[in-house]
Chain A
């Protein structure tokens, strides 16, 4: 401690100390000279002798500083300056090392931070692992629960502390001049208790308020409260207009509260009516439950199976063959993204390994090249201690530079990913550079740099000089070269795996972008219109409103035709029904699960969905005439394989007047092309179209009185304002939202998969670059070491070609081994990609060959530069070398 104090004192009072030392030494010399003069020595001579006998004054000062411990700081600064100078003298090494460090640190931290924010960070609720998501399971679909089933399970189960239900819905909110559409949920009163989150302002609604006939209440999100309600702290108890009805705000949920990651802005009571409570037929509810303490998901699942068997017996018509599936909520919400995010993690890990290998490689080459310099310094009296300290300082300079650039890169990378990532990816916007990740990446790369930079240096500092100087006589080899070769092989194989992954995704993306969507996407504009239940409850009113809206939109200048459809392609969602072909017995095995589209007669023409056979809908297809339907080719093929479907009938969607067993038949009048409505890369499900004038009245509730207005324009910009006023002229205070062109919708659904592809391509490119730097480094070093060898061989008659082939061959051999190892690894690794690929197999030979050729080509290029240097070795110069 005392020593430390003394050290720090001296460190901070360096200049004073220097002055005092000067004064003290001068006093000594002067006084000695005076004594000599007094003894009769002439003045000049006395001064000279005093100085000579005192000895080297600078050396005394230096030893004095060292004795006082002042030198540590001094030497550190000196080492840092020296390190910086050394690095500046070999800019190639410095730049490559700093870039490798920065890329390793920056890219790795950026991606990992995003993965952490989206995938690994727990959901913002209390004990998220105890919150389960329940789905029905029927045939191969997993719909939501019917209200009846939900109520029965809620009443009978013993393992859930809370079991809540919700359904997402759009709401027309009037807070400013223009009404706007916000996403919300109708939710049972125990919804908030299930997630264990308290409101930040006011309260949540009570079970009493969650009953039909009560006053309208709403709980709003923090974002809605902030952006639309002026963050009013006394908002609780105030009234706002939702769907045209005055509604009392009772509370505000905290910012992070969005348990289903739906960007939910408000919650209103579900207030199930007695009819709804008894309904076992419509399966749409989100059901979430919090397990009681000590209860496992497996226990809850087996109890659920018992309840399911009872429900199957009690409601054979609705619940036959129906079971319930329980999954952790986090798996349901984040599960589908985990594959691509895990893929990114693997890519990050590979890149970090490659960066570490490269740094190690660079350091090994450098330490070998500097062996002589270090030995020379040791011979001139530098202690091993001092040499190591100086190398450490050099690494510190490198590490600082690499780290700083890396941190910039990481920050920029995260911002870039957030800005360019898919907008609908939940929690992406909450990504921040993760400090611990950054620390880990820094530590990993710097450690490998230190380890491989220092270990050989330490050895050479302690070896006998003679050995070092002997080893320069051309006999290279040894374990270090083997390590370097292994590192390059490893780098190349990891790079190959990354490149293959990227290559497969790129090929898949190319395939997808050439897929025919099944309709004409050019100049097609789509927007959603939702009619509020109050005021438009009557099916006829709702239908006529939409029909008038179509007329108004079609009359707009620049518009060819207009139509409505319950779910436009790529809009997501949709409702499915089990269809029973005429002549088949009512058995769940005979039901064909198909997507229902309710359309205006003008829809197929407006969207230009090609009619394969039969006729299109006409305005004459009404409830009073024969119920007709148009099916897609997949449905026709599934239901009536090899037969002409025109004139065939199936039953679906509603119950006839004589009760549940009375089928309602729809006659097929046309077959249209398959529309890829769920994404270009997705399999097309069976799909059928029903004219809006013939839709079952209850279907208005299924689709939430919301339709997509589809408009074919002459081109140019989206007529947003015109469409808005056309809608408002028919339905006052009803907005049109999510308005965009079809092509924009397609490109944004492609964005998600393209995003992965793009990131992986960057990874692959960086990996390729780093491993070619690795090959280049090994070969350059080899050529430099063997200059004498090469000179001798040339003197003995080897041709330049032979020399070049020798070097190239070595490089290609390294790359070849790496390639072989990488291919073996890739065959296993790319299989994990198969679910992300479209039109390409995970072992696609074209991709494998192309990527291998690219890698070999780059390896050849990286080997060529050192080979050319070897070719230009002058035998005379080489032999005289040293």
Chain B
């Protein structure tokens, strides 16, 4: 059970890093952007976003500052740091090769064994 949770968490972290890499976003904005890019195919528990954001900030991969939102309210905007950029790159590569391997395994036909 623990491992599932880790995988899920790791995925969310990666998606957040990707979302803020396209430009500074507030928490709600991160949610919207992921939904927009994924064309609403990914269901994200809204509340779970924030612990993930804080964790990433604590680890130094994103940084935050208060600014004004499009609806003229004070909001906290998150931005990727240099370390976060490297992390995103590593995670992306890792994910891609993992996806390749798994796709390869799952795509194997009986005659190929």
Contact = CB atoms under 8 A, between A and B. Distances in A.
Interface of A: 2-3, 6, 20-21, 23-25, 27-28, 30-32, 34, 53-57, 59-60, 63-64, 66-69
A60 B58 contact: no
A3 B58 contact: yes
Given A28-B27, A66-B51, A6 B58 contact: yes
A51 to B, nearest CB: 10
Contacts of A31: 28, 69, 71, 73, 75
A384 to B, nearest CB: 14
Contacts of B45: 55
Interface string B39-55: 00000011110111011
B44 to A, nearest CB: 10
21 contacts: A21-B50, A23-B74, A27-B26, A27-B69, A27-B73, A28-B26, A28-B27, A28-B50, A31-B75, A34-B71, A53-B46, A56-B47, A60-B51, A64-B50, A64-B51, A67-B51, A67-B52, A67-B58, A68-B54, A68-B58, A69-B58
Contacts of A59: 47
A64 B58 CA distance: 10
Contacts of B55: 67-68
Q: Which 3 A-B pairs have the closest CB atoms?
A: A55-B47, A63-B51, A67-B55
B69 A2 contact: no
Interface of B: 26-28, 31, 45-48, 50-52, 54-55, 57-60, 69, 71, 73-76
Contacts of A56: 47
Contacts of B50: 21, 24-25, 28, 60, 63-64
Contacts of A2: 60
The main secondary structure of chain A at its interface with chain B is helix
Contact of B54 (A27, A30, A34, A64): A64
B33 to A, nearest CB: 14
Contacts of A24: 26-27, 50, 75-76
Contacts of B71: 31, 34
A54 B46 contact: yes
A55 B31 CA distance: 14
A27 B59 CA distance: 24
A60 to B, nearest CB: 4
Given A2-B60, A54-B46, A55-B45, A20 B76 contact: yes
Given A6-B58, A66-B51, A67-B55, A55 B73 contact: no
Contacts of B52: 67
Contacts of A6: 58
A23 B76 CA distance: 9
B82 to A, nearest CB: 14
Contacts of B75: 24, 27, 31
Contacts of A32: 28, 46
A343 to B, nearest CB: 60
A3 B31 CA distance: 27
Point out which of A23, A25, A53, A64 has the most chain B C-beta atoms below 10 A from its C-beta.
A64
Nearest to B73: A27
Contacts of A57: 47
B66 to A, nearest CB: 8
A631 B51 CA distance: 100
Nearest to A66: B51
Contacts of B59: 3
A759 to B, nearest CB: 58
Nearest to B26: A27
A728 B57 CA distance: 92
A639 B90 CA distance: 107
Point out which of A23, A24, A54 has the most chain B C-beta atoms below 10 A from its C-beta.
A24
Nearest to A7: B58
A178 B63 CA distance: 85
Nearest to A31: B28
A3 B60 CA distance: 9
B47 A54 contact: yes
Given A20-B76, A24-B76, A67-B54, A55 B28 contact: no
Contacts of A60: 47-48, 50-51
A60 B71 CA distance: 24
A301 B47 CA distance: 89
A25 B47 CA distance: 9
Given A24-B50, A63-B48, A64-B51, 11 more contacts: A24-B26, A24-B27, A27-B27, A27-B28, A28-B46, A28-B50, A31-B28, A32-B28, A57-B47, A67-B51, A68-B55
A175 to B, nearest CB: 75
Point out which of A2, A3, A31, A63 has the most chain B C-beta atoms below 10 A from its C-beta.
A31
A60 B45 CA distance: 11
B60 to A, nearest CB: 6
Given A27-B75, A31-B73, A32-B28, A55 B46 contact: yes
A638 B7 CA distance: 101
Point out which of B45, B46, B74 has the most chain A C-beta atoms below 10 A from its C-beta.
B46
A6 B57 CA distance: 10
A27 B74 contact: yes
A23 B73 CA distance: 10
Contacts of B26: 24, 27-28
Contacts of A27: 26-28, 69, 73-76
Contacts of B47: 54-57, 59-60
Contacts of B76: 20, 23-24, 27
Contacts of B57: 68
A4 to B, nearest CB: 11
A826 to B, nearest CB: 58
Contacts of A66: 51
Nearest to A24: B76
